[in-house]
Chain A
Amino acid sequence: MSTNPNTATPAAKLKIAKYWAASCGGCDISLLEIGPNLLELIKIADVVFWPCAADFKYEDVRNYPDGYIDLCFYNGGIRNSEQEEVARLLRRKSKSLVAYGQCAADGGIPALANLKTVKGIFNASYHDNPSIDNPAGVEPQPVTPSEYGDLEIPRFYPQVLRLKDVVPVDYEIPGCPPQSDRVWEAILALAGGQVPLQNRNVKVACFDKAVCDECKLEKRQVRIKEFKRVHTSIPEPNWCLLEQGYLCVGPATRSGCGALCPQAGMPCEGCYGPAGDVVDQGTAMVSAIASMLDARTEEQAQAMIDQIADPVGTFYRFTLGSSHLKARK
Chain B
Amino acid sequence: MSEPANTASTDTRPAAGPDWQPRIIGFLCYWCSYTGADMAGTARMKYPPNVDIIRVMCSGRIDPELVTTAFARGADGVLVCGCHIGDCHYITGNHKTMARMPLLKRILLDLGIEPERFRHEWVSAAEGEKFSKLVAEITEQVRRLGPLDWPGLMRTRGVGHGMDLKAWGE
In the assembled complex, which residues on chain B have CB atoms less than 8 Å from the CB atom of A147?
none
Interface SS of chain A: mixed
Binds B, one of A40-48, A207-215, A238-246, A279-287: A279-287
Contact check, A325 vs B157: say whether CB atoms are below 8 A apart.
no
Hey, what's the 0/1 contact readout for A90-108 against B, CB within 8 Å counting as 1?
A: 0110111100000000000
Residue on B nearest A329 in the bound complex, by CB: B112
Nearest CB of A to B60, in Å: 9
Total interface residues in chain B, CB < 8 Å: 50
Question: A128 CA to B149 CA in the complex, in Å?
Answer: 32
Any B CB within 8 A of the CB of A259: no
Contact check, B85 vs A159: say whether CB atoms are below 8 A apart.
no
Contact check, B85 vs A298: say whether CB atoms are below 8 A apart.
yes
Any A CB within 8 A of the CB of B160: yes
Any A CB within 8 A of the CB of B9: yes
Question: A88 CA to B150 CA in the complex, in Å?
Answer: 26
Listed in ascending order, the chain B residues whose CB lies under 8 Å from chain A are: 1-4, 7-11, 63-65, 67-69, 71-72, 85, 95-96, 98-100, 102-104, 106-107, 110-113, 148, 150, 153-154, 156-163, 165-170
Query: Can you report 6 residue pairs joining A to B where beta carbons are below 8 Å apart?
Result: A117-B10, A120-B4, A280-B69, A290-B100, A328-B112, A329-B153
In the assembled complex, which residues on chain A have CB atoms less than 8 Å from the CB atom of B98?
295, 298, 301
Contact check, B157 vs A327: say whether CB atoms are below 8 A apart.
yes
Within the complex, which residue of B2, B8, B102, B158 is in contact with A161, where a contact is CB–CB below 8 Å?
Answer: B158
Hey, what's the 0/1 contact readout for A72-97 against B, CB within 8 Å counting as 1?
A: 00000000000010001001101111
Question: A289 CA to B7 CA in the complex, in Å?
Answer: 29
Contact check, B103 vs A165: say whether CB atoms are below 8 A apart.
no
Asked, given contacts A283-B68, A290-B96, whether A84 binds B162 with beta carbons under 8 Å apart, the answer is yes
Total interface residues in chain A, CB < 8 Å: 64
Contact check, A315 vs B165: say whether CB atoms are below 8 A apart.
no
Asked, given contacts A198-B167, A280-B65, A297-B85, whether A117 binds B110 with beta carbons under 8 Å apart, the answer is no
Contact check, A311 vs B168: say whether CB atoms are below 8 A apart.
no
In the assembled complex, which residues on chain A have CB atoms less than 8 Å from the CB atom of B165?
88, 91-92, 167-168
Contact check, A311 vs B103: say whether CB atoms are below 8 A apart.
yes
In the assembled complex, which residues on chain A have CB atoms less than 8 Å from the CB atom of B63?
283, 287
Contact check, B167 vs A295: say whether CB atoms are below 8 A apart.
no
Contact check, A286 vs B156: say whether CB atoms are below 8 A apart.
no
Contact check, A302 vs B157: say whether CB atoms are below 8 A apart.
no
